[in-house]
Amino acid sequence: MPITEILEKNCQMFGNDTALVEINPERSEKRRTWREFDLIESTASAYFRREITWNVFNEKANRFANLLLSRGIKKGDKVAILLMNCLEWLPIYFGILKTGALAVPLNFRYTSDEIKYCLDLAEVDVLVFGFEFIGRIEEIAEEIEVNRQLIYVGNETCPAFADSYAELTANCGSNSPDIKLTDKDDAAIYFSSGTTGFPKAILHDHESLMHSCKVEQAHHGQTKDDVFLCIPPLYHTGAKMHWFGSFLVGAKSVLLKGATPKSILEAVSNEHCTIVWLLVPWAQDILNALDSGELKAVDYQLAQWRLMHIGAQPVPQSLIKHWKEIFPKHDYDTNYGLSESIGPGCVHLGVENIHKVGAIGVPGYGWEVKIVNENDELVQGSEVGELCVKGPGVMKCYYNDEAATAAILRNGWLYTGDMAMRDEDGFIFLVDRKKDVIISGGENIYPVQVENFLSAYPAINDVAVIGLPDKRLGEISAAIIEIKKGYTCTEEEIEKFCQQLPRYKRPRKIIFADVPRNPTGKIEKPKLRKIFGGEALVAAQNNG
């Protein structure tokens, strides 16, 4: 069934229950609860807070849907969302879906040029944007408003080149529009993370979105009594599809702005959160804050927190080992997925398999997996090959890009570009991105393996291993190492620690610097290659 029917069901069954809470600890305002978005002041808390029920959620979605329909938006049109996480985000998303149009979430880090590129590629008809993006949209407004409507969401004065969301929706009907939808109708266009170049437009239908709901709930057993803490940006499939498990059962969810250790623990404590999805850097920051004494777990109400899970990037075994030392009662899971496979869950570890930490796991609910070599043959035993997945959550195509679609979709299988291997028990281990494999003197070096090894060193907070050009070997491996706050470390110490690795796997160059990650936690290796690769190329040429 179309995913919009879940919202209707939640409204009927749990209408007066809280659906969403927004928290922004950085805003020094009094606590606010929102019912129909009318303010009720209270002095109960020092941070900004507002909430809506399932009734209000559905009503706001209907109002926005009816607004779009009144402005000529029809089935198959596209409506882009450029907002920071807020209470308006998801009602707008579902309002779009209710019209039969496609929701097109945009990365909040996009520059003006990237925004225009994505709007053009996806053939967007309406852009909904927030206060933070006024400057960027103003730069391109004359170019993009010729063929598009611009709608502004925010309490501040609406810019002259846009129309006000609040004013427009105030007089729209709150009844659900009578638009017939099917599982096979197009639903959303998501953009790839763009870590390897300009983002691609990924087209999904309603069946994909529904499958994501079922996968997440099957893996993590959400019930109506759970409370999900959502920290990552909603424009990305990861955050939203993990929320889908709570959405499916009508459970409360909390949108947290800001990902400091203190704000996360406060939100878990104050909102009685039971499930938290973290990225590796956030989990590491929490551990560092607890280890240093900056924060103390006993100061927070954390007993109800039952599940911590991580996705979006390989997870160091040392991190989870340490996490379980501090939170021994937590279930843990890791999830693997791509925006092309409607986010996380096509492979997952499973809370019952914590003894296999380090693996990304086994095929997820309703998914098939295979690993193939360069000849598209199944690999044998523990050989490394390309990971491929198949299931109801695979994208329909890269929108307006037949060549790119053909390169990644073959006979229903999605070729992920990730290199993987299976152990004797059938668990899948991610080795690296196909494009990130370093070939040094004829030897294949898989950076993730070296990164996992180095992450166990006590002074290392984060690490990325990349290939740099070398005249003699073609490439050498370089480790960019970010040191924990309050620690010191030398190149000699790292080299000594690396003596445990086979010689060819040892980093040839040690660089102490910050490790950049995108909003979904992935290391931005192209950026690191750009920063450090030029120096290495000059050195290689000089050595030649």
Contact residues for 166 (Cβ-Cβ < 8 A; gap 6+): 153
pLDDT band at 445 (very low <50, low <70, confident <90, very high): confident
Alpha carbon distance 424, 340 (integer Å): 28
The amino acid sitting at 265 is: L
Decide: residue 328, CB within 10 A, 0-12 exposed, 13-18 middle, 19+ buried.
exposed
CATH code for the structural domain at 306-433: 2.30.38.10
SS3 assignment for 409-450: EECCEEEEEEEEEECCCCCEEEEEEHHHCEEECCEEECHHHH
Cα 350 to Cα 307: distance, rounded to the nearest angstrom: 11
Query: What integer pLDDT is reported at residue 194 of this predicted model?
Result: 52
**Closest listed residue to residue 230, CA positions, set 39, 56, 87, 57:** 87
Cβ neighbours of residue 519 closer than 8 Å, sequence gap 6 or more? 107, 108, 109, 232, 233, 236
* Tens of pLDDT, residues 226-275: 999 999 889 988 888 999 999 999 999 999 988 899 999 999 999 999 99
Q: Are strands 163-164 and 149-153 parallel, antiparallel or unpaired?
A: parallel
On the question of pLDDT at 413 being above 90, the answer is: yes
Strand segments (E) across 42-108:
48-53, 78-82, 102-105
Whether residue 522 is predicted with pLDDT greater than 60 in this model: the reply is yes
**Pair 108, 150: CB distance under 8 Å:** no
Q: What is the mean pLDDT of the chain?
A: 88
Tokens 């009927």 found at: 12
Sign of CA pseudo-dihedral 180, 183, 185, 188: positive
- Tell me, what amino acid is at 486? G
Half-sphere exposure of 483 (CA within 13 A, CB side): 14
Backbone angles phi, psi at 76, to 5 degrees: 95, -15
Residues, the chain:
544
Using the predicted structure, report yes or no on whether residue 292 has a pLDDT greater than 50.
Answer: yes
Query: Does residue 539 carry a pLDDT above 50?
Result: no
Encoded tokens for 404: 């790119």
Rounded to a whole number of angstroms, the CA Rg of the chain reads 24
How far apart, in Å, are the Cα atoms of 240 and each of 19, 67, 72? 14, 24, 28
- pLDDT, one tens digit per residue, over 33-90 is 333 333 333 333 346 899 999 999 999 999 999 999 999 999 999 999 999 999 999 9
Is 489 strand, coil or helix?
Answer: coil
For residue 223, give both structure tokens: 């019930």
CB 246 within 8 A of CB 226: yes
Residues 6+ positions from 224 with CB-CB distance below 8 Å: 14, 249, 250, 251
296 Cβ contact partners less than 8 Å away, ≥ 6 residues apart: 290
Any residues with CB less than 8 A from the CB of 298 and at least 6 apart, and which? none
Q: Which single residue is written with the structure tokens 């791509």? A: 338
- The model's confidence at residue 441, banded by pLDDT at 50, 70 and 90, is low
Tell me whether strands 474-483 and 186-191 are parallel, antiparallel or unpaired.
Answer: unpaired
Which residues, 6+ apart, have CB-to-CB distance to 79 below 8 Å?
A: 68, 73, 96, 101, 102, 103, 104, 124, 125, 126, 127, 128
The CATH superfamily label for domain 443-543 reads ANL, C-terminal domain (3.30.300.30)
345 and 216 in contact (C-beta within 8 Å)?
yes
Phi/psi of residue 523, each to 5°?
Answer: -65, 135
pTM of the model: 0.82
Token pair of 73, please? 């938006």
pLDDT value at residue 195: 44
Question: Chain centroid to CA 142: how far?
Answer: 32
Question: Where are the domains positioned within the chain?
Answer: 4-258, 306-433, 443-543
Please state which CATH number belongs to domain 4-258.
Answer: 3.40.50.12780
